[in-house]
Amino acid sequence: MRKALAGILMICASMAQAEEVVIAALGDSLTQGYGLPQEDGFVPQLQDWLEGEGADVRLINAGVSGDTTAGGLSRVGWTLEPEVDAMIVALGGNDLLRGLDPAQARSNIDGILQAAEAADVEVLLIGMQAPGNFGADYKAQFDAIYPELAKAYGTVYLESFFAGLVDEGMPIDPAALRAWFQADGIHPNAEGVARIVEAVGPQVLTLIAQAQSNE
Q: Report CA-CA distances (Å) from 166 to 40, 73, 178.
A: 20, 30, 12
Query: Which residue in 29, 67, 85, 160 is the catalytic one?
Result: 29
Contact between residue 200 and residue 126 where contact means Cβ atoms under 8 Å apart: yes
Which position among 14, 137, 184, 213 bears the catalytic label?
Answer: 184
Catalytic, 74? Answer: no
Yes or no: say if 111 and 73 are a contact pair by the CB < 8 Å rule: yes
How is 160-204 classified by DSSP, letter by letter?
Answer: -TTGGGS-TTSPP-HHHHHTTB-TTSSSB-HHHHHHHHHHHHHHH
Q: Which residues lie below 8 Å from residue 147, measured CB to CB, with a gap of 6+? A: 127, 157, 159
How far, in Å, CA of 54 to CA of 35, rounded? 29
Strands 21-27 and 57-63: parallel
Residue 184 is a catalytic residue: yes
Of the candidates 28, 67, 85, 187, the residue annotated as catalytic is 187
H/E stretch holding 35 reads: none
* 189 in Cβ contact with 180 (< 8 Å): yes
160 labelled catalytic: no
| Residues 48 and 14: beta-carbon distance below 8 Å | no
**Residue numbers annotated as active site:** 29, 184, 187
